[in-house]
């Protein structure tokens, strides 16, 4: 999903979707895919051969996942109940008080359903929880309106809009990495997500806004 109140597209084009591929969300990182002389784009895989092209923009698509950020003081009971159930492997915890990552596992936190169990070491600290979850159909409709019957028009001709230069605020980011890092090198990851680390192509961009409670989107200034 793209957050359009803050998104500004300076250079964008329409490109064909690679045969056998499907763009499943606005805001996905798209890479080139040329097979047997036929060019197209597809969501990034996070592999070393990914060649970043731009960010997907389209009419409404089915909203399969949404990003969410919550904050709270580590309570005496050492548990924090999230508003939604995080998708597997998407939760990260940041200690706002100390400015450090709270690691998963022993000495940090564990997750069971919506309940985060915390180590007593962070008792009294303000913690920030970032994750992805599957919205209900009602939530998706509230956020972006009705999906056009038959899907976005681009799907009929197998093409998608691509933002190559501009300011994008996207929900399609790896919420398990530390976006609070100093001057992070942004790369493309699996499933069209932007990430930090790994072997995916480096994205020529700057992080201008990290996900927050008020605005759970990653803000990137693309310099393509």
Encode pLDDT of 69-100 as tens digits: 999 999 999 999 999 999 999 999 999 999 99
Q: Is 221 exposed, middle or buried (0-12, 13-18, 19+ CB in 10 A)?
A: middle
100 in a structural domain: yes
Q: How confident is the model at residue 61 (pLDDT cuts 50, 70, 90)?
A: confident
Do 127 and 102 lie in one domain? The reply is: yes
- The range of the structural domain enclosing residue 18 comes to 8-64+136-171+188-194+202-208
Q: For residue 112, how many other CB atoms are within 10 A of its CB?
A: 8
Residues 14 and 24 in one domain: yes
Whether 16 and 117 share a structural domain: no
Which pTM was predicted? 0.92
State whether 122 and 77 are in the same domain.
yes
Kindly state the greatest CA–CA separation across the chain.
Answer: 62
In whole angstroms, what is the distance from residue 113 CA to residue 2 CA?
A: 27
Q: What is residue 147's predicted lDDT score, i.e. its pLDDT? A: 65
Residue 222 belongs to some domain of the structure:
no
pLDDT of residue 142: 82
What pLDDT sits at residue 143? 79
- What domain count does the chain have? 2
Query: Is there a single domain that holds both residue 73 and residue 113?
Result: yes
Contact between residue 201 and residue 44 where contact means Cβ atoms under 8 Å apart: yes
Distances 223 to 53, 152, 161, 168, 201 between C-alpha atoms, Å? 11, 27, 17, 11, 14
Spatial distance between the Cα atoms of 49 and 192, rounded to a whole number of angstroms: 14
Q: What is the DSSP letter of 148?
A: P
Does residue 213 sit within a domain? no
Asked whether the beta carbons of 216 and 86 are under 8 A apart, the reply is: no
Mean pLDDT of the chain, nearest integer: 93
Same domain, 17 and 117: no
Instruction: Report if residue 140 sits inside a domain.
Output: yes
In a domain, 38, yes or no: yes
């Amino acid at each position: 999903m793209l957050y359009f109140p803050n998104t500004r597209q300076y250079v964008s084009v329409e490109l064909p979707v690679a045969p056998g591929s499907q763009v499943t969300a606005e805001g996905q990182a798209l890479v080139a895919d040329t097979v047997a002389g036929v060019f197209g784009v597809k969501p990034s895989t996070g592999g070393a051969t990914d060649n970043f092209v731009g960010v997907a923009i389209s009419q409404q698509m089915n909203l399969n996942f949404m990003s969410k950020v919550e904050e709270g003081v580590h309570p005496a009971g050492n548990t924090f109940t999230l508003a939604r159930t995080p998708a597997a492997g998407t939760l990260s915890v940041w200690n706002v008080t100390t400015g450090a990552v709270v690691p998963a596992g022993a000495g940090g936190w564990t997750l069971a359903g919506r309940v985060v169990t915390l180590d007593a070491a962070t008792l009294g600290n303000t913690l920030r929880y970032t994750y992805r979850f599957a919205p209900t159909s009602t939530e998706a409709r509230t956020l972006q309106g009705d999906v056009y019957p038959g899907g976005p028009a681009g799907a009929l001709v197998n093409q998608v809009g691509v933002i190559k230069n501009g300011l994008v605020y996207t929900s399609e980011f790896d919420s398990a990495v530390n976006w609070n890092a100093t001057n992070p090198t942004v790369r493309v990851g699996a499933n069209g997500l932007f990430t930090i680390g790994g072997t995916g192509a480096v994205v020529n961009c700057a992080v201008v806004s990290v996900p927050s409670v008020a605005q759970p989107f990653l803000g990137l200034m693309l310099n393509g």
